[in-house]
Amino acid sequence: MASNEQRVIVVGAGPVGAVMTLALVRRGIRVLLLEAEPAPVEDQRAATIHAPTLEMLVDLGLKEQAFAEDASGGFQAPLFQFRDRATSELVATFDIRLLEGEVPYPFVLQWEQYKLVRAVLPLIAASGLAEVRFAAKLTGLAQQADHVDVTVDIGGAPAQLRGAYVIGTDGGRSTVRRLAAIDFEGFTWEERFIKIATSFDFVSAGTGYCTRNYFSDPDEWLNLFKVKGNGPPGYWRGIMPVPPNESDEQAVSMEGIQRRLHGIYDKSGDFDIPYYALYTVHQRVAATFNKGRVLLAGDAAHVNNPIGGMGMNGGIHDAINLADKFADVWFGRADAGVFDRYTRQRRKAQVDFVQAQSIQNKKALGEKDPVVRRKHLEELRRTCEDVARHKAFLYRSSLIDSLNAANAVE
């Protein structure tokens, strides 16, 4: 191979692309990481790192960064609550510390995805095996027998680049997936989601909430959780549905935003709002995660609603799985057929676990039939009160079952 073919091109420098690149260079593989944006994006999206994902990040050398006490690191959140918003009833409190001795990190780490990317990039640079190019937008892709040629727009000028393989980690609207003509199967929820952040501290207000909360409500379900933000007092993020009959303009108006927050806690005066976002939500999985010398990971391969914090975690699980298989192919321990196994394994994790669980999470929180809704809440209560069922629930919600089942697929 020519020298520029002896590398993998990763497209998309979000959390999955950054982790993918770091995992590859840790295994001795040269990488070119391309990102369309001019600099790392401070996007207020995923922030939940589940126990098995945290173990992977620590193995990549990110323990110090993940547990940093300043605003750059995350904080431990072992508890999560389910509440009946209509009655203000606390239904169940699940405690991941029940898995102590069974998993290395029996808690969720609340660590915003942009901080993870910031932590990873210096390690990539220090490896000496990677080049990172920002403001490089992929516009073309052509597979050959032993390499892939890509066309990239850099400052308005096209550039031709070459690699042995291309990995698309470029999000739900993946250009890599589109150029490779891979179907993205699934559906779009009718209602939109709105995410609103505030510096108001719901714990100090005496609500009894913990740092991760799920509220069942037939009219307006709610996820409410805390992140460090830029430092004390941190930010609370509320995620709520926006019904089809409410316009985008109404939803993102300050009146609409304040109304939603006052519906959570009716304090005097307005809430401080550092950021908010309105977005459409999809449940989709790519028909395949590998096609010739093109592979997909993260949101490029699968998207789901955010209830349960499974999207970014599943993407990082993709990256570690794929990096191991790349190392086997790269150094002659296996042929490229192992990439078919990557698709089988990671599609199973998505279809059987993440998609199924996230869809069920949303339907359960927004259930409108009072009988069905009460039955679900009582089932949560019984699950929480029985230690064996409590632990089984944690294994599924923390994606441990997903990971184990996927890795067992031949």
CATH code: domain of residue 79? 3.50.50.60
pLDDT score at 2:
43
Structure tokens at 218: 């037939």
Same domain, 259 and 358: no
Q: Which tens digit of pLDDT belongs to each residue from 329-351?
A: 999 999 999 999 999 999 999 99
Q: Reduced to 3 states, what is the DSSP secondary structure of residue 259?
A: helix
Adjacent-strand bridge partners of 149: 142, 162
Q: How far apart are CA 174 and CA 287, in angstroms?
A: 14
Query: Of 279, 298, 319, which residue is a domain's last?
Result: 279
**For 331-386, where are the alpha helices, taking DSSP H only?**
338-348, 356-365, 370-385
Place of tokens 């679900």: 376
Judge if 180 and 216 occupy the same domain. Answer: no
Are 34 and 10 in contact by the 8 Å Cβ rule? The answer is yes
Domain count, the chain: 2
Are 135 and 252 in contact, with CB atoms under 8 Å apart? no
CA 200 – CA 214 distance, rounded (Å): 18
CB atoms within 10 A of CB 369: 10
pLDDT at residue 206 in the model: 94
Task: Verify that 175 and 53 share a domain, yes or no.
Answer: yes
Domain with 67 in it = 3-187+283-407
Give whole-number Cα distances, 322 to 315, 326, 371, in Å: 10, 6, 44
Residues 260 and 382 in one domain: no
Is residue 147 domain-shared with residue 47, that is, in the same domain? yes
The Cα 72–Cα 119 span in angstroms is: 8
Which of residues 279, 304, 329 is at a domain's end? 279
Contact 239, 306 (CB under 8 A): yes
Q: What is the pTM of this model?
A: 0.96
Residue 216: CATH number of its domain: 3.30.70
Q: Is 68 within 8 Å of 111 (Cβ atoms)?
A: no
Residue 271 has what pLDDT? Answer: 97
CA distances from 291 to 84, 236, 283 (A): 45, 41, 21
Choose one of 231, 251, 279: the last residue of a domain.
279
**Residues 203 and 152 both lie in one domain:** no
Q: Exposure of 38 by Cβ count < 10 A (0-12 exposed, 13-18 middle, 19+ buried)?
A: exposed
Q: Which residues pair with 338 in a beta bridge?
A: none
Same domain, 159 and 96: yes
Give the DSSP letter string of 8-30: EEEE--SHHHHHHHHHHHHTT--
Give residue 290's pLDDT: 98
Sequence-distant (6+) residues with CB within 8 A of 119 are 62, 65, 66, 72
Burial code of 202-237, b = ≥16 C-beta within 10 A, e = fewer? beeeeeebbbbbbbbbeebbbbbbbbbbeeeebbbb
Are 301 and 385 in the same domain? Answer: yes
Q: What is the pLDDT of residue 45?
A: 84
Report the run of H or E that residue 247 belongs to, with start and end.
Answer: none
The runs of H, that is alpha helices, within 221-369 are 248-252, 254-264, 311-330, 338-348, 356-365
* Whole-number pLDDT of residue 355: 87
Spatial strand order of the sheet with 75-77 comes to: 48-49, 108-110, 75-77
State whether 219 and 168 are in the same domain.
no
Exposure letters 334-366 (e unless 16+ CB within 10 A, then b): beeebbeebbebbbbbbeebbbebbbebbebbb
Reference 80, options 363, 316, 394; nearest CA is: 394
pLDDT reported for residue 3: 53
Residues 105 and 54: beta-carbon distance below 8 Å:
yes
Below-70 pLDDT ranges, the chain: 1-4
Do both 203 and 316 map to the same domain?
no
Three-state helix/strand/coil letters over 80-145: EEEEECCCCEEEEEEEHHHHECCECCCCEEECCHHHHHHHHHHHHHHHCCEEEECCEEEEEEEECC
pLDDT score recorded for residue 42: 86
- Same structural domain for residues 16 and 141? yes
Q: Which residues pair with 162 in a beta bridge?
A: 149
- Do residues 72 and 143 share a domain? yes
What's the pLDDT at 1?
39
